[in-house]
Structure 1
Amino acid sequence: MARSVPWQEWLSSGTEAVQDEVIRWYKATKEGKSYVPDMIWGTVQTEAYATVILQQVVDFLGVPNDVAAGVAKRMERQQVLHEGGHHYHVILGEQSLYTNIGGPEVMRGQVDRVLRDIDLPSLTLGIIPATAKLAMFPVPAFNIHGDGDRVHVELVSSGLDITEQGEVSLHHRVFDLLHEGAAYEEEAKDLLRKAESFWANTPLQN
């Protein structure tokens, strides 16, 4: 079973209420999985990075502008990484370290944040190198929540929740295949340091 809710309906009162719902998902998740190929996973985003993302959402969809409140909730969500009882296995694409969200200064701070959080006991973070040979072609970003029985996919026009177990199983399977191509621990840190150096040497834009 899949349930699709248009973003303009879901965000009809602004971003804060949706972020509250996402917090509930994360608090109910003991073992989560996320694949994010081209941007930074929300639960390790900096305030500056999240502000740019949510402002773009508001501007694109024309929904009420409560970006500051939405960002505050996204920062609150990050407490799940520190409160115990949760573990998240996250796979980023290397492109996520270079997709320019907010300019070099924002990106420097964001990459530094990921480097700081990568050793958290609650987090297993892999990064798929741009040249990695994959056993599965890249697919859209997705998150596996709950007891591993719910998948959430963010589309351009809507958010899609998948609960049919055959479809959920396919997402677990593709996650495992992508995991085989990801770099972890020191190899992942090397990719982060490379990106950190790139942004440190990219002039600030006027």
Structure 2
Amino acid sequence: MSSAIPWQQRLSTGTEAVQDEVIRWYQETPEGQAYVPGMIWGTLQTEAYATVILTQVVDFLGVPNDVPAGVAKRMQRQQVLHDGRHHYAVVLGEQALYTNIGGPDVMRGQIERLLRDFALPSLTLGILPATARMDLFPVHGFHIQGRGDRVHIELVSSSLDIEEPAEVELHRKAFAVLSGAAAYGEEAEQILRKALTFWGGEVSAVRR
């Protein structure tokens, strides 16, 4: 079974209520997998980066502007990275490190945040190099929730939840291919540091 809800319906009262919903999802599902090809995964976003993203959402969709409240909730959701009860496997496309969200200052702060959080026990972070070869055609981003019983996809006009087992299994198969082609450990860290240098950051200033 699949269900799609238009963003303008979900965000009819602003961004805060949806962020509350996401917090509940995370609290109820101690494990998750996410593939995010072109931007930073929401649970790793800095306050400045999240502010730009949610402002763009509000402006594009014409929904009530409660960006500060929505950002505060997004920051609250990140507590799952530090409570010792959750684990997330995340693959970011290398493009996510170069998609210009808010300008160089915002991007430097964001990549420094990734470098600080890189070794968190709750996080397995892979970076999919732009030149990586894969046995899979290019696919959209998606989030496999819990132990793999639901897939969440964010489209331009709506959010889509997939629960049909055969479709969920295809997304799990896709994530296995993507994570298999991703860089981890020191190789991923070097990709992050290269991006930090691109945005004018001082690599030596970053400490984990």
Q: In which range does the TM-score fall when normalised by the shorter chain?
A: over 0.9
CA drift at 1:147: 2.8
Match of 2:145 in 1: 145
User: Structure 2 length as normaliser, TM-score?
Assistant: 0.95
- CA deviation string 1:26-55 (max 9, x = no partner): 111122000000000000100000000000
Alignment coverage as a number of residue pairs? 201
Whole-Å Cα distance in 2 between the matches of residues 50 and 18 of structure 1? 14
Correspondence list, 1:1-16, <5 A? 1-16=1-16
Match of 1:130 in 2: 130
Amino acid at match of 1:46: T
Say yes or no: does 1:87 pair with 2:87: yes
CA drift at 1:179: 1.0
SS of 2:199's equivalent?
helix
Whole-Å Cα distance in 1 between the matches of residues 188 and 199 of structure 2? 17
User: Structure 1 length as normaliser, TM-score?
Assistant: 0.96
Say yes or no: does 1:73 pair with 2:73: yes
**Structure 2: stretches of 5+ with no match in the other structure:** 202-208
Correspondence list, 1:1-206, <5 A? 1-200=1-200
Q: Is the 8 A contact 1:135 1:181 kept in 2?
A: no
For the aligned residue pairs, the C-alpha RMSD in angstroms reads: 0.7
Whole-Å Cα distance in 1 between the matches of residues 161 and 35 of structure 2? 15
CA drift at 1:146: 2.5
CA drift at 1:84: 1.3
Amino acid at match of 2:166: G
- CA deviation string 1:88-115 (max 9, x = no partner): 0000000000000000000000000001
SS of 1:13's equivalent?
coil
Whole-Å Cα distance in 2 between the matches of residues 27 and 147 of structure 1? 13
Whole-Å Cα distance in 2 between the matches of residues 183 and 198 of structure 1? 19
Whole-Å Cα distance in 2 between the matches of residues 147 and 117 of structure 1? 23
- CA deviation string 1:131-183 (max 9, x = no partner): 11111122111001133201000000000000111110000000001111100
Q: Is the 8 A contact 1:40 1:97 kept in 2?
A: yes
Q: Percent identity?
A: 70
Q: Is the 8 A contact 1:7 1:158 kept in 2?
A: yes
After TM superposition, what 4+ stretches of structure 1 lie above 6 angstroms from structure 2?
none
Q: Which moved more, 1:137-146 or 1:163-172?
A: 137-146
